[in-house]
Amino acid sequence: MRVLITGAAGFLGSHLSDYLITQGHSVVGMDNFVTGSPENIAHLAGNQSFEFYEHDVSNYIFIPGKVDVVMHFASPASPNPASPFSYPNLPIQTMKAGALGTHNSLGVAKANNARFLLASTSEIYGDPLEHPQKETYWGHADPIGFRSVYDEAKRFAEALTMAYHRYHGLDTRIVRIFNTYGPRMRVDDGRVVPNFIMQALNNKPLTIYGDGSQTRSFCYVSDLIEGIYLLLMSEEHLPVNIGNPQEISILQFAEEINRIIGNSTGIVRKMDLRLGDDPQRRQPDITKAKTILNWEPKMDLQSGLALTIDFFRSKLVQ
């Protein structure tokens, strides 16, 4: 298949490009490098199975030739206002990527009678009242909070995708992605994994906002990409959670990173003044993925963190 991936130079988009090429497909990558990095796809330069267009998906998309699949991954994805790549710091771009970008990407799929996969997010559940979160849960999200530009853009994107499926008969998929980590995350993107690892590698205490009791569930990137591919190749049109159901508190996560790296400077706690709508618990129910896709994550947290830490350590010496 010839696959268009928007956000192809991003953390997930670049890994997805690699995976699809190994499966024998050709990839048309698209990115405007607002949050993606040319480094993530530099190794694909000259690969006959990869072509690239620098383009903002919120503008009309034209791809010459037939496209068999469109996978819409373009969006800022960091909630930390301390990062310049955070969606609270790119609010209009985030909304446009989720709304106009989804509309334009669906247009390419419709014009080519192609399969369409939307990269949605666990953030559509907001600060959930249901735990763990099933796909049938409608969510508990603040429509005007700091996170709303991302949450509501993705909720709109899901609604638009289903509208194209129901009204135009488009062959669509929706993946709800939970916290993912691994090589190619931006060192300065503001998410908890890069923050903690870089602080530990620099022998600094790890900064926790609040008491650290809030939880996340971290999935290694190779597991996530495999799950996304299985969903793409399935016949499921309704949303599917892809993530690791092993829940861990932020405090425990910080302690594990300090242990692996050997950072003895410990942890400091600060009042959480960044985002008032920070979810307190986040854990996917992956029963649907297990049943429909025969998928579940394989990488344990310690092994995945070791690989990720090696990547960030290599960035320190560059």
What residues does 107 pair with on adjacent strands? none
SS (H, E, C) 184-199: CCCCCCCCHHHHHHHH
H or E element, residue 69 = strand 69-72
Strand partners, 216: 248
d(CA 290, CA 152): 28
Token pair 């090589």 is at which residue? 183
**Residue 311 CB neighbours (<10 A):** 15
Short-list 117, 125, 72, CA closest to 96: 72
Euclidean distance between CA atoms 266 and 135, whole angstroms: 37
Residue pair 269/211 in contact by the 8 Å Cβ criterion: yes
Distance between CA atoms of 26 and 4, rounded to whole angstroms?
Answer: 9
Q: Which residues are part of the catalytic machinery? A: 150
- What is the token pair recorded at 222? 């190779």
CA-to-CA distance for 155 and 150, rounded, in angstroms? 9
